[in-house]
């Protein structure tokens, strides 16, 4: 699988007892519970393959996003298959959607960004994204900007916690009241996602266009509008980020110049001991938090 650049499907580290793909750092037991991410030290399984050398010179912060935000956003744009001179709509302007916009702009595409958080919309607008506030009419606004046809590609950088899906929100919350063991089984067989962003993508992408899902989905019983997906000949691509697949291509953009604006990407720099409060702030989207860097 790694030979085919599908590192997330790695046959050496697949989490077979859960029927899942490759183990991931800092994820739940579905993905192997490998501790990772925010710690002073971390164990690095498969260390002959995962780590890469970065050049001396630029500050370390420049490269920190190579472990997640950059390759994830990069993959979302690659999978979106935006034609030359084409338009992409990016749903969700959190760190992943924001960086996806930057990558698409850097490649010369027209980018429309959608979110609900004013600071996130403004941040994207300042970089040249045409921004739209999420509302029940947002699909029409997207079509109005694209000659009624819809964008060539849509990137869903929201995932299963989308705003605007009241029934699924209730089902997810109800599952939260079940005992842990039952809840896990329930979500694996009957769980549903909040599909507002995915449904918006299906509704707005132009006929024959491509939807790239980078926001995570985890439901096993999601009702999807197959008639529309089939009739519009939508191409649908998705998955966890194959991080090592993209890092070599991204690295040259992190050296002298900083075309993706990585140096000013973090909105907050805090001590590791501030981690719990930083997570709360990010979750509540308080204080303009888009990306928090923790210094060990």
Q: Assess 155 for contact with ligand NAD (CB under 6 A).
A: no
Whole-angstrom Cα distance, residue 15 to residue 17?
Answer: 6
Task: Give the nearer residue to ligand NAD in terms of CB position, either 36 or 58.
Answer: 36
Using rule CB under 6 A, residue 219 touches ligand NAD: no
Using CA atoms, how far apart are residues 199 and 23, in angstroms rounded to an integer? Answer: 29
- The residue within the footprint of ligand NAD, chosen from 34, 64, 89, 93 (CB under 6 A), is 93
Q: Is 94 in the site for ligand NAD (CB under 6 A)?
A: yes
159 binding ligand NAD? (CB under 6 A): yes
What's the CA gap between 38 and 144, in Å, rounded? 43
Does 114 participate in binding ligand NAD (rule CB under 6 A)?
yes
Of 29 and 182, which has the nearer Cβ to ligand NAD?
Answer: 29
Site for ligand NAD contains 120 (CB under 6 A): yes
Q: Is residue 214 part of the contact set for ligand NAD (CB under 6 A)?
A: yes
214-246 CB burial, b ≥16 within 10 A, e <16:
bbebebeeeeeeeeeeeebebbebbebbbbbbb
Cα–Cα distance for residue pair 215/166, rounded to 1 Å? 18
Which one of residues 21, 97, 151, 209 is an interface residue with ligand NAD (CB under 6 A)?
97
Q: Minimum CB separation from ligand NAD for residue 160, in Å?
A: 7
Least distance (Å) from ligand NAD to the CB of residue 281? Answer: 11
DSSP lists the bridge partners of residue 119 as none
**HEC readout, 129-142:** CEEEECCCCHHHHH
Rounded least distance, CB 243 to ligand NAD, Å: 8
Per CB under 6 A, the segment of 34-42, 90-98, 175-183, 259-267 that binds ligand NAD is: 90-98
181 φ/ψ sector (left φ>0, alpha ψ -120 to 50, else beta): alpha
CB-wise, 56 or 142, nearer to ligand NAD?
Answer: 142
**What CA–CA distance (Å, rounded) separates 84 from 260?**
19
The residue at minimum Cβ distance from ligand NAD is 94
Are residues 111 and 104 in contact, defined by beta-carbon separation less than 8 angstroms? yes
Nearer to ligand NAD, 117 or 192 (CB): 117
Q: b/e per residue, 138-153, with b = 16+ CB within 10 A?
A: bbebbbebbeeebbbb
Classify each residue of 47-78 as buried b or exposed e, where b means 16 or more C-beta atoms within 10 Å of its C-beta. Answer: eeeeeeebeeeeeeebbbbbbbbbbbbbbbbb
CB of 56 to ligand NAD, least distance (A): 28
Q: Which stretch binds ligand NAD (CB under 6 A): 37-45, 88-96, 142-150, 252-260?
A: 88-96
In eight-state DSSP terms, residue 163 is S
Total chain residues near ligand NAD (CB under 6 A): 28
Which range touches ligand NAD (CB under 6 A), out of 36-44, 162-170, 246-254, 260-268?
Answer: 162-170
CA-closest candidate to residue 100, choices 75, 134, 121, 82: 75
Interactions with ligand NAD, residue window 58-87 (CB under 6 A): 68, 72
Contact residues toward ligand NAD (CB under 6 A) are 68, 72, 91-97, 114-117, 120, 134, 157-159, 162-164, 196-197, 214-216, 240-241
């Amino acid at each position: 699988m790694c030979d085919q650049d599908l590192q997330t499907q790695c046959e050496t580290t697949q989490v077979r007892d859960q029927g899942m793909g490759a183990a991931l750092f800092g994820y739940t037991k579905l993905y192997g519970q490998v501790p990772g991410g925010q710690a002073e030290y971390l164990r690095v399984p498969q260390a002959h393959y995962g780590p890469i050398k970065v050049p001396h010179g630029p500050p370390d912060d420049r490269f920190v996003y190579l472990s997640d935000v950059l390759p994830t956003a990069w993959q979302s744009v690659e999978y979106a298959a935006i034609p030359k001179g084409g338009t992409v709509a990016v749903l969700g302007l959190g760190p992943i959607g924001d960086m996806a916009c930057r990558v698409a702009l850097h490649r010369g595409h027209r980018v429309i960004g959608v979110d609900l958080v004013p600071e996130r919309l403004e941040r994207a607008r300042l970089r040249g994204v045409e921004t739209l506030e999420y509302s029940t009419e947002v699909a029409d606004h997207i079509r109005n900007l694209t000659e009624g046809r819809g964008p060539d590609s849509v990137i869903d950088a929201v995932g299963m916690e989308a705003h605007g899906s009241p029934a699924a929100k209730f089902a997810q919350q109800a599952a939260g009241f079940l005992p842990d063991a039952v809840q896990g089984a329930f979500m694996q067989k009957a769980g549903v996602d909040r599909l507002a962003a995915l449904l918006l993508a299906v509704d707005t992408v132009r006929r024959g266009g491509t939807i790239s899902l980078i926001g995570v989905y985890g439901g096993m019983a999601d009702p999807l509008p197959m008639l529309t997906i089939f009739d519009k000949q939508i191409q649908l691509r998705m998955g966890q980020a194959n991080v090592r697949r993209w890092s070599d291509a991204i690295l040259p953009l992190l050296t002298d110049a900083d075309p993706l604006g990585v140096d000013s990407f973090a909105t907050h720099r805090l001590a590791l001991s501030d981690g719990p409060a930083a997570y709360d702030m990010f979750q509540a989207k308080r204080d303009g938090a888009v990306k928090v860097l923790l210094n060990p």
